[in-house]
Amino acid sequence: DTGVSQDPRHKITKRGQNVTFRCDPISEHNRLYWYRQTLGQGPEFLTYFQNEAQLEKSRLLSDRFSAERPKGSFSTLEIQRTEQGDSAMYLCASSPMGVAGDLGELFFGEGSRLTVL
């Protein structure tokens, strides 16, 4: 199965440390999204890419957050100088675009859970 995969699934870190998450989308999908989800809430949009271009960033994405998709395939989300408020599930999703019959639904990975101590 070639669904969306995320790594690591769980990360525990101390405040002030940097963390990086990786997302491998479905191979033929050109759009890739990052969301953040806290307990009991809906996913909050962070950023998305079309191929290698980062098209939009949420105001939620402070300058401590950076995302890349260098070759239009996998993506990384880095959080620098982590804070306890960064503790959340970070979800990656991918979607095809411009494909006949494409509804625009998102295909999600299982998420990367971050705990900042």
Partner 1 sequence: AQKITQTQPGMFVQEKEAVTLDCTYDTSDPSYGLFWYKQPSSGEMIFLIYQGSYDQQNATEGRYSLNFQKARKSANLVISASQLGDSAMYFCAMRDSGGGFKTIFGAGTRLFVKA
**Candidate residues 11, 36, 61, 111; the one interacting with partner 1 per rule CB under 8 A:** 111
**Candidate residues 24, 32, 33, 94; the one interacting with partner 1 per rule CB under 8 A:** 33
What whole-number distance in Å separates Cα of residue 30 and Cα of residue 93? 11
Residue 26 within binding range of partner 1, rule CB under 8 A:
no
Residue 34 within binding range of partner 1, rule CB under 8 A:
no
Least CB distance from residue 29 to partner 1, whole Å?
Answer: 13
Nearest to partner 1 of 68, 110 (CB atom): 110
What whole-number distance in Å separates Cα of residue 10 and Cα of residue 65? 18
Half-sphere exposure of 78 (CA within 13 A, CB side): 10
C-alpha distances (whole Å) from 99 to each of 30, 71, 78 are 10, 21, 30
Residue 52 within binding range of partner 1, rule CB under 8 A:
no
Name the DSSP class of 84. Answer: G
Contacts with partner 1, residue ranges (CB under 8 A): 33, 35, 40-45, 48, 55-56, 89, 91, 93, 97, 103-111
